[in-house]
Structure 1
């Protein structure tokens, strides 16, 4: 009976060992499956993050390009408007000038401008015969003003100027001095 009991104990022990081995293998398989699942989840998460990051970069690049396009269009529109404005102003001046007189219905500034333009032209022609003219927007001194032949000459330290208008701004052009100076 002892042998039987020993055999039963051995078989029971083998069954227990076998069950433990099966349990360990099952746990190992389960843990392995969990690791594989976790690894797959991480891989998918990284791929989603990379895809999301790429989409965000693409979106930001598109926004930068759109902003650049809008700024370029705004600059071009401004340039077009300025060009049209200058052309409109030049056309209005040409329409108000008949070759001898400047017509301005609002006030008498037109006559003054016309006289200055004629004087500047005469002074420019006279000055061009002797030297290349220079242009200044502010005289370097308090000038001596000498009217001659319907034109005002502005003397500053031996240099003489006539007043002119360039793009609507007062400009002084160097000329030869008036007779007697």
Structure 2
């Protein structure tokens, strides 16, 4: 056999140690340069400011606090205007004529109802009639608010009803007279 294939550049143990050390040195220097290249620029990405105080406060805020308006049940009620009540409650049926509801602005469908009179219209709106639930399905409405919505819808359809008056608050109890001496 020929010895030509077994010949190597490394002939002594000293050369072997030098080659191994050189290999590790080149590998370590390559890793160091690669790390320097990757970390040289400060890159920002999604979530990079996740430890900022504002971000932490947003994450731990109670879910129930977002998108809700709390009402003070002991505060005096603020009555809404007729158009606001119509838009929030009545328009679902009276805007499209659902289930036989007269469409707002259609004088023909409102004429018989307007002829029945203001008091009858308000009574039917408050108590409900046929497919229409009482107060249009919103029990939180005050009778004055329902009357305002009726006046708004009827006036849009040819009536000339006057806006209902808000009933006065009950008078404060008279102070008791001082006892006689």
Shared fold (TM-score, shorter chain, > 0.5): no
TM-score (norm 1): 0.29
TM-score (norm 2): 0.29
Considering Cα pairs closer than 8 Å and 6+ residues apart, tell me whether 1 or 2 has the greater RCO.
Answer: 2
User: Larger radius of gyration, structure 1 or 2?
Assistant: 1
Q: Which has the higher helix share?
A: 1
